[in-house]
């Protein structure tokens, strides 16, 4: 599971088995997990994160989306 970024205590990564899904990033932090679609910055899963945390997570994904998309395409190419 390649880690793309660690910021604000959140780990942004994807799983090798994610190949057949649209580009997305998984986020772990404080025992919680989320999944964010990279194409439209929509939260797909929000396991345990508060709305405040999710807002911050989406902001980080938006800021680093290009890097995350490149990592996705490089890994699954």
pLDDT digits (tens, 9 = 90+) for 26-69: 999 999 999 999 999 999 999 999 999 999 999 999 999 999 99
Q: Which sequence spans correspond to the domains of the chain?
A: 3-76
pTM equals: 0.94
Residue 32 corresponds to which tokens in the numbers above? Answer: 């919680």
What string of DSSP letters covers the chain? Answer: --EEEEETTEEEE--GGGGGSPSEEEEEETTEEEEEETTTTEEEEEES--HHHHHHHHHHHHHTHHHHHHHHHHHH-
- As a whole number of angstroms, the distance between CA 77 and CA 61 comes to 21
Instruction: Locate 76 and state its tokens.
Output: 């699954």
């Amino acid at each position: 599971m390649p880690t793309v970024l660690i910021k604000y205590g959140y780990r942004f990564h994807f799983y090798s088995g994610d190949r057949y899904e649209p580009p997305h990033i998984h986020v772990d932090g404080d025992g919680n997990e989320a999944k964010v679609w990279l194409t439209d910055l929509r939260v797909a899963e929000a396991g345990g994160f508060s709305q405040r945390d999710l807002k911050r997570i989406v902001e980080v994904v938006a800021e680093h989306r290009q890097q995350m998309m490149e990592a996705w395409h490089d890994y699954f190419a």
